[in-house]
């Protein structure tokens, strides 16, 4: 694993993918001859790249010399002073993945941002000409294909080394390269493509030379050399492990990689008594990654997919997993971080192919990839958390109590997660609940933006996870392979996500977007508010602002909000509430300053006064009269009914209004008899105001954390987000029978079969009044018959018509109302699945039950003298456990006003049980506004159960049926 620059990689020429894998008989002899030939050819150039010297024992604690030079080295980055006219920053040395000491110094090297993700320009010091680059005629800017760092170098040099990730890029071949390439024996120098059968044969050949005195290491020495040469050759590796059925032409349907054969190859290799052959494979792979060759086409990324399947990559991230030696884990980590980097920074065309290839994996294989990347992200965040704990005096941090000082140990022994659970699991390297015996709140431990904002490991992991997330959506025309919650990374909950959100908006230039003038057009009022906010906003994360023109800290190059698939639903909701609160405060400031200048009173709440019998019209009137108050705190009053809104009246207003708006008799939505799901009504009468009201109500429900009883398909929530990516599966969910017929059309392969259906590019439908209408899907569509050649176009036009065009007016008004309430950038963090979960709650089963009673016990609070060990409390939990799924939902509806759990789970439910003074003959009472059950001091368990049963099953509204 030598790190010097040489030209030996040019010896590896393209090989025919159908070439025989092994030359039997004299295989090892020819291999030795090839290696000798390579050494002779390169002797006059530089020291040859040979197999790294292995330590006496693979299991020893000391890595070899070659590894210590490249793996886990501490950074030594220094910043050169740049003149005022300089457009680039200069880095004087490379840095590995351990950058604890100089994390802050890195941030000062990013003087300019040229890309959306904030990549910075670095001039590589590994190039000898860099010191005199100012005298060159020109310079070239190149984006590192591993970490994204922009490198500037003189145009006349042939090699450059990225100072951030140490990857070497060769741009021009030297004269020596061309002379070697013209050698007559160049074909013989190229290793043959790898396969499971080739490895099996090679192992058998090694065993034939068995010597009673020989050690396992010496027996498999030829295998080491074979694997090292093969895995250090791009041309060999990229044509290896091909599926026999794979097409020679590049295809979206398959990468052509034989996953079964590849896994058998690694498994057989790891089963050998000596791990040196596998270690040689790792060293060769890392050498190849340090000196990559081709990336211009998707077909040139096969070798990266082969390396991604190495079994020890995941083990390299686990501290207490001692299945493999420290040397193997160290090099495996180096391979993992570079493979993630190269795949994450693939070009657009390659990413499209990767998305299709990953979408063809089985759910288990796909989940394994997601968990690996999440585990890698946890590995990086664990170091940030250790620094946060160590540098915060309030935590009374003791490094030896948590992990060995990683700053003084550049190896990989003490900064890995200590669990073997999956990447998206909730394991912790530290005990966050107690630090040195003192109780801590989880939210007190927050990773600051400057700790990770310029970490290229996290940036590349986020980009690669975005590819996987897109693959999940690509699957089966919009249907997800795995739930989006599988992508959540639990350690991101320990990131200061609000600061991250602000930095993301600032990077996008959206922080003050749309806020230049207030609603009254008073520029002087707005200038005061903008001045105050510009100071507080930029001071949060130390970036430059008009108030601090000398600030030197630059924008972060990475934020988690760039990759929202990593952020849990609870964290996203907190961001949504944060943005809404900030907008509300801004509106309050505007109103306050305006009221002072105009001498008019202000109302800090959004008040809705309605009559029960006219709830829709009264609600619409209040919303239209106060369009700028929708983000204020909501207060509801029912006219001629005494009561103070502590939350209960608000819940009742949502319940009654949504029940009326979504009633089929209202005519706004129609419901399919088969799916029982609703969709926008097809009506000749425009009713934009009512659809606008529906959008506002849904926005207010999210803003006020209220669960609604809605029956709509996933496409409905995609409309909320402005997502036009609706497909056949969305249509089938809404219209099952018609959707299945469309799917049958896809399976027709003969024109005669399609023509017998007599389908044309036109549709016939009924509106809500029963009138029949006919529309052409394309110009002159009534005369164009559906054939095998145009059936895809027909289906796409059909879906577009029913899911978009015919209901466009209604959907636009609906979206406009929703955006009036929830119109910020935080909404873009959510998927349609998450928005649906927030609006309608969670009704998934816990086993054969609805409630996880154990968790509910933990989050419950007791009042009126009750404790968790009180007789009545124990009786209540016994009662809950005896109920079935439907009965538990009824109980929850009685106590909270909803039969669904919050989107973030039962652990976020504020549940109370209160003891009241009064007659024991009374029935239990529920305060839905507080999620509170009030009971009396009953003497008998059965008497308590009977009264609670009656209250749950016979109550309606605020009384008995």
Residues in the chain with pLDDT values less than 70: 1-137, 172-190, 209-212, 245-248, 392-444, 474-478, 509-554, 597, 599-602, 643-647, 955-961
Active site residue 283: no
DSSP 716-767: HHHHHTT-----HHHHHHHSHHHHHHHHHHHT---HHHHHTTT-BSEEEEE-
Ordered by start, the domain boundaries in the chain are 139-166, 215-338, 361-389+445-602, 842-960
> Rounded to the nearest 10 degrees, how much is the dihedral formed by the CA atoms of 203, 209, 210, 211?
-150
Dist. CA 113–CA 127, nearest whole Å: 23
Helices (H), 860-956: 871-882, 885-896, 941-954
**Entry pTM:** 0.76
3-state helix vs strand vs coil in the chain, percent to 5? 50, 10, 45
The residues, ordered by sequence, that sit 6+ positions from 131 with a Cβ below 8 Å of its Cβ are none
* DSSP tally for the chain: helices H, then strands E: 36, 20
pLDDT at 24: 37
CATH of span 842-960: 3.30.2410.10
pLDDT at 844: 81
Token pair of 696 as six digits: 């506002």
DSSP 835-856: HHHHHH-B---BTTBS--HHHH
pLDDT at 98: 40
pLDDT at 280: 94
pLDDT at 829: 93
- Using one digit for the tens of pLDDT, what is the confidence trace for 790-827? 999 999 999 999 999 999 999 999 999 999 888 778 88
List the catalytic residue out of 146, 561, 565, 929.
929
- Please give the sequence-ordered ranges of beta strands (E in DSSP) within 418-511, or none if there are none: 434-435, 438-439
pLDDT at 808: 92
């Amino acid at each position: 694993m030598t790190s010097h620059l040489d030209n030996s990689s040019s010896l590896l020429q393209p090989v025919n993918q159908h070439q025989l894998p092994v030359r039997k008989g004299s295989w090892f002899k020819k291999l030795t001859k090839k290696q000798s030939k390579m050494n002779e050819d390169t002797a006059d150039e530089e020291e040859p790249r040979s197999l790294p010297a292995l330590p006496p024992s693979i299991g020893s604690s000391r890595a070899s010399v070659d590894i210590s030079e490249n793996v886990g080295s501490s950074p030594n980055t220094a910043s050169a002073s740049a003149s005022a006219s300089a457009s680039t920053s200069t880095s004087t040395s490379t840095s590995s993945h351990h950058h604890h000491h100089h994390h802050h110094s890195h941030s000062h090297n990013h003087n300019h941002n040229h890309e959306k993700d904030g990549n910075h320009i670095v001039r590589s010091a590994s190039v000898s000409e860099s010191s005199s680059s100012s005298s060159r005629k020109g310079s070239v800017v190149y984006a590192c294909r591993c970490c994204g760092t922009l490198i500037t170098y003189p145009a006349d040099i042939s090699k450059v080394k990225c100072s951030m990730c140490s990857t070497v890029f060769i741009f021009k071949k030297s004269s020596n390269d061309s002379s070697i390439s013209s050698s007559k024996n160049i074909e013989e120098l190229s290793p043959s493509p790898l396969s499971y059968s080739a490895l099996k044969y090679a192992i058998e050949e090694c065993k034939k030379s068995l010597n009673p005195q020989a050690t396992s290491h010496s027996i498999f020495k030829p295998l080491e050399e074979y694997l090292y040469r093969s895995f250090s050759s791009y041309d060999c590796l990229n044509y290896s492990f091909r599926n026999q059925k794979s097409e020679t032409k590049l295809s979206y349907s398959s990468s052509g990689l034989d996953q079964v054969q590849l896994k058998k190859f690694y498994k057989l290799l790891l089963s050998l008594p000596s791990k040196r052959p596998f270690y040689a494979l790792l060293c060769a792979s890392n050498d190849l990654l340090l000196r990559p060759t081709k990336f211009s086409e998707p077909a040139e990324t096969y070798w990266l997919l082969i390396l991604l399947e190495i079994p020890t990559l995941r083990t390299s991230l686990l501290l207490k997993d001692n299945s493999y030696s420290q040397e193997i884990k160290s090099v495996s980590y180096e391979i993992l971080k570079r493979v993630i980097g190269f795949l994450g920074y693939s070009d657009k065309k390659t990413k499209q192919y990767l998305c299709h290839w990953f979408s063809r994996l089985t759910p288990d294989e796909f989940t394994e990839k997601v968990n690996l990347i999440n585990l890698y992200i946890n590995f990086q965040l664990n170091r940030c958390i250790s620094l946060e704990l160590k540098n915060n005096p309030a935590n009374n941090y003791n490094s030896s109590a948590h992990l060995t000082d990683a700053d003084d140990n550049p190896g990989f022994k003490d900064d890995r997660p200590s669990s073997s659970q999956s990447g998206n699991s909730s394991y912790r390297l530290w005990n966050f609940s107690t630090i040195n015996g003192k109780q801590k709140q989880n939210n007190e431990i927050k990773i600051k933006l400057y700790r990770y904002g310029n970490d290229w490991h996290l940036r590349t992991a986020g980009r690669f996870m975005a590819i996987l997330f897109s693959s999940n959506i690509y699957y089966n025309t919009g249907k997800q392979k795995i739930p989006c919650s599988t992508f959540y990374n639990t350690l991101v909950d320990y990131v200061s996500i609000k600061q991250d959100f602000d930095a993301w908006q600032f990077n996008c230039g959206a922080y003050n977007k749309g806020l230049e003038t207030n609603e009254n057009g008073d520029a002087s009022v707005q200038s005061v508010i903008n001045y105050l906010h510009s100071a507080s906003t930029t001071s949060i994360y130390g970036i430059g602002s008009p108030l601090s023109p000398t600030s030197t800290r630059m924008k972060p190059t990475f934020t988690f909000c760039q990759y929202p698939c990593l952020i849990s639903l609870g964290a996203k909701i907190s961001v949504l509430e944060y943005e809404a609160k900030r907008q509300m405060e801004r509106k309050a400031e505007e109103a306050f300053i305006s009221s002072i200048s105009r001498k008019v009173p202000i109302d800090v709440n959004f008040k809705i006064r309605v009559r029960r019998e006219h709830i829709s019209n009264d609600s619409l009137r209040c919303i239209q009269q106060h369009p700028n108050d929708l983000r204020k705190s909501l207060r509801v009053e029912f006219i001629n009914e005494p009561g103070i809104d502590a939350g209960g009246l608000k819940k009742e207003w949502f319940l009654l209004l949504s029940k009326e708006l979504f009633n089929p008799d209202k005519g706004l939505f129609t419901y399919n008899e088969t799916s029982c799901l609703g969709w926008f009504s097809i009506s000749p009468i425009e009713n934009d105001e009512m659809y606008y009201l529906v959008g506002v109500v849904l926005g207010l429900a999210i803003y006020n954390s209220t669960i609604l009883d809605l029956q709509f398909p996933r496409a409905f929530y995609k409309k909320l987000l402005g997502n036009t990516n609706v497909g056949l599966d969305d249509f089938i969910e809404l219209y099952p029978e018609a959707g299945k017929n469309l799917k049958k059309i896809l399976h027709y392969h003969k024109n005669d079969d399609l023509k017998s259906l007599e389908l044309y590019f036109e549709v016939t439908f009924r509106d809500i009044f029963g009138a029949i209408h006919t529309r052409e899907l394309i110009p002159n569509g009534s005369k164009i018959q559906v054939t095998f050649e145009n059936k895809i176009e027909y289906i796409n036009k059909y879906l577009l018509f029913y899911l978009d065009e015919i209901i466009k007016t209604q959907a636009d008004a609906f979206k406009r109302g929703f955006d009036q309430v929830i119109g910020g950038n935080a909404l873009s963090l959510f998927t349609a699945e998450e928005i649906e979960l927030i609006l309608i709650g969670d009704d998934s089963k816990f086993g054969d039950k609805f409630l996880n009673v154990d968790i509910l016990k933990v989050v419950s609070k007791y009042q009126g003298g009750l404790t968790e060990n009180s007789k009545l409390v124990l009786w209540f939990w016994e009662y809950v456990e005896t109920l079935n799924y439907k009965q538990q939902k009824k109980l929850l509806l009685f106590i909270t006003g909803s039969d669904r759990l919050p989107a973030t789970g039962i652990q976020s439910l504020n549940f109370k049980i209160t003891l009241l003074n009064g007659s024991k003959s009374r029935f239990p009472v529920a305060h839905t506004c507080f999620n509170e059950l009030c009971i009396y001091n009953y003497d008998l368990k059965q008497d308590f159960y009977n009264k609670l049963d009656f209250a749950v099953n016979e109550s309606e509204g605020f009384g008995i049926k």
